[in-house]
Amino acid sequence: MGNHIIVERVLNNNVLVAVQENQEEVILIGKGIGFGKKKGYEVDLDSVEKLYRLEDASAQEKYKQLLPQINEEFVGFMNDVMDHIEERMNNKLNEHIHIALTDHIAFAIKRLNDGLDFKNPFLIEIQSLYPKEYEVAKEVVSMIHETLGFAMPDGEVGFIAIHIHSAITDKKVAEINKDSQLIQHLTSLVESQLSIDLDKQSVDYHRLVQHLRRAIERAHKGEALGERNKLDNLLKLEYPVCYNLAWKLIKVMQRTLQKPVDDAEAVYLTIHLQRLLS
């Protein structure tokens, strides 16, 4: 941090917008840090708990608009939440989560107050894809209950888990949602084509979802799985139904992602699908 940080604007008692020596705008969070301060005052760095650069101007604007609408206890609480997530995930969080998650939880509480319940259609997929994030999100929901007195619906665990995953991987929440949607579409295709009901709690379902996610990630990155191997023809003969379905799924992925999917995926998918049947 630069030596001199000057107050630009007091957002509330615990949050300031300030300017560093290099003229860079930062958001500072700390208990009572804004109390009695005015524009032009120098900030005592010892009282700063968190400093956010928020290079993204639109994100910064959003945060400045968001803060006056939420109470100060909540800002302090969100600080504790971020510390908890960082510690539990053992990972630095992308600082955008501070705004995105503050915004999300503030809005969720408002919805609760208005008696609106919001269903999360991807709950089971999210639990299967991001078990650690899901676990920590559950803890955050308990914190909300204990500290703020709001009992969140289960769906919120899934939404918060996605925000946590986004902050660790630097992936945009919208992108993660798109991938979850695609996975859900693919698994329901599997159910209808094989005329089975997948047990969403089973290990095989979990494996299939994990595999599809990795296939999608490989497609995003343009990674290949290696040569189509000798198994290919064997599987085609042994398990024609699953083999054809695997190709169907690959085509859906390609169409949705607008990216090529490696041919060799068919082999692995066929094996996963066959497991679900046997």
pLDDT higher than 50, residue 1: no
Q: Report how far apart, in Å, the C-alpha atoms of 249 and of each of 164, 209, 252 are.
A: 28, 12, 5
Domain residues of the chain, as ranges?
6-53, 72-171, 190-198+206-277
Mean pLDDT of 25-40: 84
Note whether 153 and 118 are within 8 A (CB): yes
Note whether 261 and 254 are within 8 A (CB): yes
Q: What is the pLDDT at residue 85?
A: 95
Which CATH architecture does the domain made up of 72-171 adopt? Orthogonal Bundle (1.10)
Topology of domain 190-198+206-277 in CATH is Methane Monooxygenase Hydroxylase; Chain G, domain 1 (1.20.58)
Mean of pLDDT over the chain: 86
| Tokens matching residue 188 | 């329901």
Strand partners, 25: 19
* Phi, psi at 10, each rounded to 5°: -95, 120
pLDDT in tens, 126-167: 888 899 999 999 999 999 999 999 999 888 999 999 999 988
Pairwise CA distance, residues 213 & 228, whole Å? 20
Question: For the domain with range 6-53, which CATH number is right: 3.40.50.300, 2.30.24.10, 2.130.10.10, 1.10.10.10?
Answer: 2.30.24.10
- The residues near 229 (Cβ < 8 Å, ≥ 6 apart) are 264, 267
Comparing CA positions, the residue from 36, 40, 46 lying closest to residue 28 is 46
Give the pLDDT band of residue 2 (cuts 50, 70, 90): very low
Which H, E and C letters describe the chain, residue by residue?
CCCCCEEEEEEECCEEEEECCCCCEEEEECCCCCCCCCCCCECCHHHCCEEECCCCHHHHHHHHHHHHHCCHHHHHHHHHHHHHHHHHHCCCCCCHHHHHHHHHHHHHHHHHHCCCCCCCCCHHHHHHHCHHHHHHHHHHHHHHHHHHCCCCCHHHHHHHHHHHHHHHHCCCHHHHHHHHHHHHHHHHHHHHHHCCCCCCCCHHHHHHHHHHHHHHHHHHHCCCCCCCCCHHHHHHHHCHHHHHHHHHHHHHHHHHHCCCCCCCHHHHHHHHHHHHHC
pTM for the model? 0.74
Q: Give the CA angle between residues 55, 56, 58 to the nearest 5°.
A: 145
pLDDT in tens, 161-208: 999 998 888 788 888 889 999 999 999 999 999 999 988 888 888 889
Percent of the chain residues topping a pLDDT of 90 = 32
pLDDT in tens, 88-111: 999 888 877 887 888 889 888 888
pLDDT in tens, 229-246: 667 888 888 889 999 999
